[in-house]
Structure 1
Amino acid sequence: MKTTIAKIGQFVEQEVTIGAWLAGKRSSGKIAFLQLRDGTGFIQGVVVKADVEEEMFQQAKNLTQESSLYVTGVVRSDDRAPSGYELTVTKIEVLHEAKDYPITPKEHGTEFLMDHRHLWLRSKRQHAVMKIRNEIIRSTYNFFHENGFVKIDPPILTGSAPEGTSELFATKYFDEDAYLSQSGQLYMEAAAMAMGRVFSFGPTFRAEKSKTRRHLIEFWMIEPEMAFVEFHESLEIQEQYVSYVVQSVLKSCQLELKTLGRDLSKLEAIKAPFPRITYDEAITFLHEKGFDDIKWGDDFGSPHETAIAEHYEKPVFITHYPTSLKPFYMQPDPNRDDVVLCADLIAPEGYGEIIGGSERIHDYHLLERNLKEHNLSLDAYQWYLDLCKYGSVPHSGFGLGLERTVAWISGVEHVRETIPFPRLLNRLYP
């Protein structure tokens, strides 16, 4: 019976065959222990010298790391094994013998591992992170489909930028200037006027020369937009979505979270509702914590966000930022013209902002004025102005950064481990 490691529990006390790679091995005089992986999981294969031919036992002892194999054996229950099972091996067929595999059990530097990212992905830790990323993506689709959202795919090449062009990658689109998208938001607003509630999931690009552990040059965003949804209702949807995703990972990725040494109790606490503080309250709080350097009108840096987040066990919304800090499309607070109806969701444990969102402007004249004040071309944004010209409604949306969310939920320190092939300030290889 041919199967996979993920399904091996269905065949206890039966003989099965799996296609696998040798992740590692150790042996004594009488037993060889093979650490096997097949992409679906990891399992230990045990070769007992007394139970097999001498030639096969020597074959097992001489296997090299990352050689590909067909391994046949009897499935045994084993409470000590992470997966709950191990394989008593009866036959090994070598498909390809790997020689001098560069990533060995010894310590390697970050740059070395990044240069060998195509191989580093095979490690147990990286496998766990990618499985958690996959579950976040799966549960994202489930949440939005269950709540009546339609998936829409915005363009990656654009002729304008929702937040200006200073941090965009420019290219030529035949005889025109074009940019790699930093957000699909404006197009998603157009889609929301057609479909009601929509979401996108795709790559975005920021030409920001940052080297922090929270930044990537290419990353993935989930961007919902919702017609007839005002600011506070949007916050409720955001906290429901994040709670849903975290609880889905807890349910489906227990083994992966344990592999990473994640404190599960911190994730178990992530359930809506989330605390909310205004930007004004955040400034007061930071002053009380000794951050005398920050003043009203300044944006928060990583130390500020971390200090605020440490005060809560759940993600916290910081709302009503100064108008001067935010893009042109955000709806002003009807009671104050110096702040907008927006919120950043700050993850616990120092992971920073994972969501930015707002109610969007739906008044034609206000949007036109803001475009002029930001020195943006009215011709380039005429199609966006049309949304306020023909059947405008109150509407809201937000964007969640996938890699930061993966880092927070999985507990890894740097976002470079949360995407298969990271693009960093000085890295375009492999």
Structure 2
Amino acid sequence: MKTTISKVSNFVGQEVTIGAWLANKRSSGKIAFLQLRDGTGFIQGVVVKEEVEEDVFAKARAITQETSLWVTGTVREDDRSPFGYELAVKNIEVIHESVDYPITPKEHGVEFLMDHRHLWLRSKRQHAIMKIRNEIIRSTYQFFNDNGFVKVDPPILTGTSAEGGSELFHTKYFDDDAYLSQSGQLYLEAAAMALGRVFSFGPTFRAEKSKTKRHLIEFWMIEPEAAFVEHDESLEIQEQYVSFIVQSVLKNCKLELNTLGRDLSKLENIKAPFPRITYDEAIEILKKKGINDIEWGEDFGAPHEVAIAEEFDKPVFITHYPAKIKAFYMKPDPKRPEVVLCADLIAPEGYGEIIGGSQRIDDLELMQKRYEEHHLTGGSYEWYLDLRKYGSVPHSGFGLGLERTVAWITGAEHVRETIPFPRLLNRLYP
């Protein structure tokens, strides 16, 4: 019976054949222990000299790391294994021998591992991170589909910037100028006016010359947008969504979390509602902690976000930022126009902002004023202004950075481990 490692629990006591690679091995006299992987998981294969043909045991002793194999054996339960099962090997067939595999069980430097990212992905740690990333994506689709959101795919090539500023990748679009998308938000607002509640999931690009452990040049964003939803309701959707994906990972990826040594109790605590503080209150927290390098009206940096998050054991919303440091489309607070109806969601444990969102301006006259203030009077943005001309409604949206969220949930130290092939300031290979 041919099967995969992830399905061996269905075949306890039965003989199965698995296509696998040799991740590692060790021998103890007349027994060889093979650490096998097949992409779905890892399992130990035990080869006992007295129980197999002589040539099978010789193969078990001789096979090299990352050699591909057909392995046949009997599945048995094993309480000592984190996986819970092992394979009593009866036969080994070599598919392709791997010679001088460069990533050995010894310690390697980060740059070496990044140069060999195409192979580093095979390791147990990277496998666990990618499986958790996949679960976050799967549960994202489940959450938004279950809550009436329609998947919409905004363009990657755009004629305008969503956020403004110079952190754009420019390219030629035949005889015109184009940019790689910073965000699909503007297009999602248009889609929300047609479909009510929408979300996108796709790559975004920031030409930001940053080398921090929280920044990538190319990263993936989940961006929901909803008509007839105002600021407070948007925060409720955000905390329900984040709670849902964390609990889904706990339920479906416990083995991977244990492989990473993640403190499960910290994730088990991530359930809505989340605490909310205003920008003003955040400034007060920093001052009380003796952090005086920031004044009202300045944006928070990573050290400020970490210091604020230390006061909470759940993600915390920081709301009502000064309008002058936020994007042109954010709706001012009617009670206090110098701040906007927005929020950043700061993850605990030092992982910083994972969501940015706001209620959008729905008033035509105010949006026209914002256009003038931000010099957006050219034709490129006329279509966006149309959304306020024809049946404008209150609406809100947000964007969650997938890689930062994966880093937080997995406990990874750097976002470069949270995407299969990271694009960094100094890295475009492999």
What is the TM-score with the length of structure 1 in the denominator? Answer: 0.99
The 5 A counterparts of 1:307-326 are 307-326=307-326
Query: Alignment partner of 2:24: what SS?
Result: strand
Q: Match for residue 56 of structure 1?
A: 56
Q: Which residue of 1 aligns with 2:331?
A: 331
Name the SS for the 1:380 alignment partner.
helix
Which residue of structure 1 lines up, in the alignment, with residue 386 of structure 2? 386
Matches of residues 32-181 of structure 1 in structure 2 within 5 Å? 32-181=32-181
For residues 372 and 175 of structure 1, the distance between their equivalents in structure 2, rounded to whole angstroms, comes to 27
1:71-123 per-residue CA deviation (whole Å, 9 max, x = no partner) reads 00000100111110000000000000000000000000000000000000000
Give the secondary structure class of the aligned counterpart of 2:427: coil
Instruction: For 2:201, give the aligned amino acid.
Output: F
- After TM superposition, list the pairs within 5 Å mapping 1:221-300 onto structure 2: 221-300=221-300
Bigger Cα displacement from structure 2, 165-174 vs 32-41: 165-174
Task: Give the counterpart letter for 2:88 in structure 1.
Answer: T
Inter-partner Cα distance in structure 2 for 1:377 and 1:171: 22
- Secondary structure, in 3 states, of the residue corresponding to 1:199? strand
Q: Quick one: distance in 2 between partners of 1:375 and 1:162?
A: 13
2:396 corresponds to 1:417 = no
Partners of 2:46 and 2:256 in 1: how far apart? 23
Residue 198 (structure 1) aligns with? 198
The two structures, once aligned, show a CA RMSD in angstroms of 0.6
**Structure 2 residue identity aligned to 1:78:** D
Report the more deviating stretch, 10-19 or 163-172. Answer: 163-172
Partners of 1:343 and 1:128 in 2: how far apart? Answer: 31
Provide the rounded CA distance (Å) in 1 between the counterparts of 2:184 and 2:3: 41
Partner of 1:24: 24
CA contact (8 A) 1:368 1:378 kept: no
How many Å separate the matches in 1 of 2:189 and 2:56?
Answer: 64
Matches within 5 A, 1:350-361: 350-361=350-361
1:402 aligns with 2:423: no
Is the CA contact (8 Å cut-off) linking 1:372 and 1:378 kept in structure 2? no
Q: How many residues align?
A: 430
Deviation readout 1:301-349 (Å, 9 max, x if unpaired):
1111001101101000000000011010000000111100000000000
Counterpart residue type for residue 128 of structure 1: A
Task: Write the distance in 1 (CA, Å) between the matches of 2:54 and 2:150.
Answer: 61
Shift, 1:58, TM fit: 1.2
- Deviation of 1:28 after TM superposition, in Å, equals 1.3
Q: Any gaps of 5 or more consecutive residues in structure 2?
A: none
Off by >2 Å, runs of 4+ in structure 1: none
Letter of the 1:105 partner, please give it.
P
How far off is 1:165 after superposition? Answer: 4.3
Q: How far, CA to CA, are the matches of 1:146 and 1:295 in structure 2?
A: 42
| Residues 68, 94 of structure 1: 8 Å contact kept | yes
- My pick for the range that moved more, 346-355 or 365-374, is 365-374
**In structure 1, C-alpha distance between the alignment counterparts of 2:214 and 2:54, rounded to whole Å:** 53
Fraction of identical pairs, as percent = 79
**Amino acid aligned to 1:217:** I
Q: Distance in 2 between matches of 1:226 and 1:78?
A: 49
Segments of structure 1 that go 5 or more residues without pairing to the other structure are none
Check the 8 A contact 1:371/1:378 in 2, yes or no.
Answer: no
Cα distance per residue 1:277-304 (max 9 Å; x no partner): 0000000110000011111011111111
